[in-house]
A and B are shown apart, each in its own frame.
Chain A
Amino acid sequence: MNTEQNTKNDALIHVKNVKKYFPIKGGVLKRTIGHVKAVDDVSFSINKGETLGIVGESGSGKSTLGRVMLRLLDPTEGSIHFNGIDISHLKRREIRPHRRDMQIVFQDPFASLNSKMSVAELVEEPLLVQTKLTKSERRAKAIEMIEQVGLRAKDRLKYPHEFSGGQRQRISIARALITRPKFVICDEPVSALDVSIQAQVLNLMKDLQEEFNLTYLFIAHDLSVVKHISDRIAVMYLGRIVEITNKKDLYEEPLHPYSQALLASIPIIDTGEATKAKKEKITLTGDIPSPANPPSGCSFRTRCPFAHERCKVERPELIEKEKGHFVACHLYDK
């Protein structure tokens, strides 16, 4: 799978050279004095039925990327093709027909649901906005969906506060899937949940993916969760993808020093069974730099144990080191 050549028929989404810069205003005149480069020249594609995971530390630009892909935010530069159509320059009105095909599930199941609406109303709402179905058709579809996410039909009359975190996340998922989208962005959908509940929701998401042939972009900072659910994984650092490959290669042979450190940082449960010998521990020093003022050259160089002169002056491009395995690091582009 090639991030560049993947515009062919099996790619559902193709993101090319996308940038999202937020202006920083300052001074009494509130002039723009700089930019937060939240997403800085990112390209990849996702095939139909595939799950692409995105990992990266807080502030690395994961949510911003997701929002730009759905055009909830406008890209500063670059293009996004969905189903072969360039949606990056469509006007609001022109996007509307595509909305029902692209949905998002957010992290916080408490904040993202309107507390004054019943479950049935919440789940039906996207149909009201995006289809011409009658009231009874909408209600019937909503009840079907409520049951599909593992809630009971009689729960439809309840309100969000009457549910636990995991159940609220099921409501959010029902809302996202009611329009039968092709593509769903899951932005940390299980991060706020306890492990036993997290497992229930992850299993549900896999079941629904199989049932509806969904394509997922799955954002999380928990690598174990991302590895479990994804086919391929992109690692982000300060607005850029530093490595992208299938999950097996990323876990067995991470190339980028940041990916290596990220993997080595995860505490592993020693159950005594043939737990793989842990890779030599690379502990990073220092903090994540501010995306408003990223280091010159390679933005990871300030924390990288292998940084050398060239890393200060030249930004590494994402290159295909092995088939389908891309990395942006000067250790590999000599």
Chain B
Amino acid sequence: MKKHAVLDVAQLKTYFYLNNGQVAKAVDGVSLSISPGETVAIVGESGSGKSITALSIMKLINKPGRIVNGEIALNGKEMQALSEKQMTGIRGNDIAMIFQEPMTALNPVFTIGNQITEILRKHKKMNKKDAQAKAIHLLKTVGIPRAEEIIHEYPHQLSGGMRQRVMIAMAISCDPKLLIADEPTTALDVTIQAQILDLMLEMKEKFHMALLLITHDLGVVSEYADRVLVMYGGQIVEQAKTKELLRHTKHPYTQGLMQSLPKLDEDVDRLGTIKGMVPPAYNFPAGCRFSSRCPFVMDKCKVSNPELTEIDTDHFVRCHLYENAGDES
């Protein structure tokens, strides 16, 4: 456990107990820690457990899901023991979260102003007038023009990019120490995506927040994250500083991902591919979860799941290829 971490997650396991008796191991032994001011990205394909990791940190897991193991500490304070009421105080106040589809997180029947002032009055105990003034100030901070008018409008009257700005305004309204953004720009066009990501970074600097950024876009990771965790099958398979990970990619899965992306600055006739598809969370292969798709699969990969091992300073890989490098023939 690192000292002074804003967030420290150890051995988190979140399982879903399906009707037919199967167990979906959505998150299966994830540990991570984020330092103040740091941007950490989680990247992985659909179903790899990114959102469930974030929702577990927020304690927003509902039936049939359950956090079955793990410790989550915020600023050194263990959160598992907290009551739902105490958690409500932490959500929005200490940790804020931005979701992929802002429409689901905004209440359609309240004005933008109402939604922001409500948070301020609840968490900051502000009076109506001060909250209103602060709401306008926040909207201006996130670059919304005509803020005085926008507070009287409803979510559906705004474009996707504007809604995401409102979400960011709401998220930073109580000066959280940690902002979790789950695919904050996936639903947006690229020119708008660039605006929103730049804004998030600016807000992060301005308010000294730590940022946990969930994305499936390695380009976004490259430009915005200090450190990156690659998830596959509910587990972290590789983890390093961003530059190190992108330049000295070690895990066969991460390598496969990099090769299957078309790149703007190079021309290839055919893209690299990863054969097969992501296995479902209730039916992972025995041994290494990537073994069914790995081009370098060995016999032992099919029986034992490798540990996440530090193979270079701060560079962790979960792969038998890198275990006891040398005594493999």
- What CA separation (Å) do A200 and B260 show in the bound complex? 8
- The A-contacting residues of B in range 190-226, CB under 8 angstroms, are 190-195, 197-198, 216-224
Tell whether, in the assembled complex, residue A195 and residue B261 are in contact, meaning their CB atoms are under 8 Å apart. Answer: yes
Partner-binding segment picked from A73-81, A154-162, A217-225, A305-313? A217-225
From residue B289, how far is it (CB to closest CB) to chain A in Å?
14
Q: What's the dominant secondary structure at chain B's contact region?
A: helix
Assess whether B189 is in contact with A58, with CB atoms less than 8 Å apart: yes
Indicate if A203 sits at the interface (CB-CB under 8 A): yes
Tell me if A197 is interfacial: C-beta within 8 Å of chain B.
Answer: yes
CB distance from B276 to the nearest CB of A (A): 9
Q: Is the CB of B260 within 8 A of A196?
A: yes
Q: Of A6-14, A20-28, A63-71, A265-273, which binds chain B?
A: A265-273
With both chains docked as a complex, state the minimum distance between the C-beta of A220 and any C-beta of chain B, in angstroms: 10
Question: Given that A195-B216, A199-B272, A287-B161 are contacting pairs, would A271 and B246 also be in contact in the complex, using a CB cutoff of 8 Å?
Answer: yes
Chain A residues, CB < 8 A from B162: 287
Question: Is A261 positioned at the interface, with any CB of B under 8 Å from its CB?
Answer: yes
B257 at the interface (CB under 8 A from A): yes
**Segment touching A, from B5-13, B174-182, B262-270:** B262-270
- Report B143-165 CB contacts with A as 1/0, cut-off 8 Å: 00000000000000001011000
Interface range on chain B (Cβ under 8 Å from partner) = 35 or more
Number of interface residues of A (CB under 8 A): 41
A120 an interface residue at 8 Å Cβ cutoff?
no
| B278 adjacent to A251 (CB under 8 Å) | no
Q: How distant is the Cα of A221 from the Cα of B262 in the complex, in angstroms?
A: 14
Q: In the complex, what's the smallest C-beta–C-beta distance from A295 to chain B, in angstroms? A: 16
In the complex, the answer to whether B198 meets A251 with C-beta atoms within 8 Å is no
Please provide the chain A residues from 222 to 242 with a CB less than 8 Å away from any CB of chain B in the complex. 223-225, 227-229
- Interface assignment of A164: CB less than 8 Å from any CB of chain B: yes
Give residues of chain A (183-217) contacting chain B, Cβ–Cβ below 8 Å. Answer: 194-200, 202-203, 206
Q: Say whether B45 contacts A196, CB under 8 Å.
A: yes
Q: Would you call A262 an interface residue if the criterion is a C-beta within 8 Å of the partner chain's C-beta atoms?
A: yes
The 8 Å CB contact of A270, one of B161, B194, B222, B272, is B222
Alpha-carbon separation in the docked complex, A225 to B189 (Å): 15
Contact (Cβ within 8 A) A203 B273: yes
Q: Are the CB atoms of B265 and A276 closer together than 8 Å? A: yes
Query: Would you call A269 and B218 a contact (CB within 8 A)?
Result: yes
Instruction: Please give, as numbers and ranges, the residues of chain A lying within 8 Å of B268 by CB-CB distance.
Output: 228
Tell which of A224, A225, A270, A283 has the most Cβ of chain B within 10 Å. A270
A275 in contact (CB, < 8 A): yes
Name the residue on A nearest B193 (C-beta). Answer: A265
Q: Are B277 and A203 in contact, with the CB atoms below 8 A?
A: no
- Which residue in A57, A195, A227, A265 is a CB contact (below 8 Å) of B45? A195
Chain A residues within 8 Å of B243, by CB:
270, 272
A225–B264 CA distance with the chains assembled, in angstroms: 8
Which of the residues A164, A228, A287 comes within 8 Å of B271, measured between beta carbons? A228
Could you write out 13 A-B pairs with CB less than 8 Å apart? Answer: A199-B261, A199-B262, A199-B273, A227-B262, A228-B262, A229-B262, A251-B264, A266-B219, A269-B221, A269-B246, A270-B246, A276-B265, A287-B161
Across the A-B interface, give the 6 residue pairs with the lowest CB-CB distance, nearest first: A267-B219, A199-B260, A228-B262, A199-B271, A272-B247, A57-B189
Chain B interface (Cβ within 8 Å of chain A)? Answer: 45-46, 159, 161-162, 189-195, 197-198, 216-224, 243, 246-247, 256-265, 267-274, 277-278
A interface, CB within 8 angstroms of B: 57-58, 164, 166, 194-200, 202-203, 206, 221, 223-225, 227-229, 251, 261-272, 275-276, 283-285, 287-288
